[in-house]
Amino acid sequence: MGVTTMGGGEHSQLTRKDFVSDQEVRWCPGCGDYSILKAVQTVLPELGIPREKFVFVSGIGCSSRFPYYMNTYGFHTIHGRAPAIATGLKVANPDLQVWVATGDGDALSIGGNHLIHAMRRNIDIKVLMFNNRIYGLTKGQYSPTSELGKKTKSTPFGSVDRPFNPISLALGSEATFVARSVDVFPAHLKETLVRVAGHRGSAFVEILQNCNVFNDGAFFDVTDKGVRDDRTLAMEHGKPLIFGKNQDRGIRLKGTRLSVAEFPPGNPPADLLVHEESDPDATVAYILSRISPPEFPLPIGIFRQVAAPTFDGAIHDQVAAARARGAGDLEKLIRGPETWTVT
């Protein structure tokens, strides 16, 4: 997939360095956040959008330190509230590219309400949710994506708390762009970032991210070099869902049930499920969001991208329509419907 150019294009060519701030990066050595930061800093200069148009808004958590490291406008806010703050910012200034950097605790636990409402409104913000399935900054409690039975500092006998599936949640919240990528798949991550940058509307990207201190290897059974081709499914729009090191397996849909079909390499059966990311009905995307190893591969890529009017656009359309009928007369407004004069 090629790089799409957005914006005017006459802006002087930016490089990755233009997006690197002068702040020392303070994530733990080996943290998956480094590769996400690098991917973002690599993709942004290729978009043809002036640097000053980017704003990164974050909440609280390791991932939420992200804005400090980006040489763009940035706002490190409070726990869980980044989507709400980003909503006000985007409505205030629709010309901006507003990105939210968040984590599984920030977005799905304390900020769950803001996330789902931002998604359903189709406010034009791009939420990058780093999912490491743990609370890192508070040093190792289970998160809303931690697996059932997980032993952590706060669950010494194993977690009895059933986790969220972030993709299912985003689809259920009516997000118009929903994708999944992985910290250690830089090419895939960059492609996904380019696509999300070009989307207008609420976008949600789950990025599987390794916390090598408190939850090391959470995704290794999927992302390790030796297994990744067999255990991940890179979805491509308009193409049958095929995976495996030898490209010898595919996904079938019968009714609401998916199954894996095996076939000789290069000779897929005709009834494999063809990925339709722009399907206005999110049902199949939702079904795909439910599968994971060992029975199935883990789908990565874009589950859904549909065009819909944005919330910020609709607000400004209403204002513009009212102003087109005549700008407000403040004197008249203050006078109100009835006045009397005392002489």
Applying CB under 8 A, the residues found at the interface with another protein are 21, 23, 50-53, 55, 57-58, 60, 67-68, 70-78, 81, 84-93, 95-96, 113-114, 117, 315, 318-319, 321-323, 325-328, 330-331, 333-343
Between residues 77 and 223, which has the closer beta carbon with respect to another protein?
Answer: 77
Query: At closest approach, how far in Å is the CB of 213 from another protein?
Result: 20
Q: b/e for 110-136, b at 16 or more Cβ within 10 A?
A: bbbebbbbbbebbbbbbbbbbbbbbbb
Question: Closest Cα partner for 228 from 271, 182, 168, 164?
Answer: 182
Q: Which of 62, 161, 156 is nearest to 106 (CA)?
A: 62
Work out how close the CB of 306 gets to another protein at its nearest, in angstroms, rounded to a whole number.
22
What span, in angstroms and rounded, lies between the C-alpha atoms of 266 and 286?
28
111/250 with CB nearer another protein = 111
User: Closest CB to another protein among 6 and 78?
Assistant: 78
Distance in Å, CB of 341 to another protein, minimum: 5
Nearest distance, CB of residue 3 and another protein, angstroms: 22
Q: Nearer to another protein by C-beta: 270 or 333?
A: 333
- Dihedral of CA 107/108/114/117: which sign? positive
What amino acid occupies position 157? F
Radius of gyration of the chain (CA): 22
Closest among 245, 244, 236, 208 to 223, alpha carbons compared = 208
Instruction: Give the nearest distance from C-beta 74 to another protein in angstroms.
Output: 4
Tell me which residue has tokens 């703050």: 85
Q: Is 302 helix (H, G, I), strand (E, B) or coil?
A: strand
Would you list the DSSP string of 130-197? EE-SSBTTTTSB--TTSPTT--BTTBTT----PPP-HHHHHHHTT-SEEEEEETT-HHHHHHHHHHHH
Q: Name which of 61 and 299 has its Cβ closer to another protein.
A: 61
Which C-beta is closer to another protein: that of 90 or that of 188?
90
Nearer to another protein by Cβ, of 254 and 332: the residue is 332
For residue 309, the minimal CB distance to another protein (Å) is 16
Shortest CB 40 distance to another protein, Å: 15
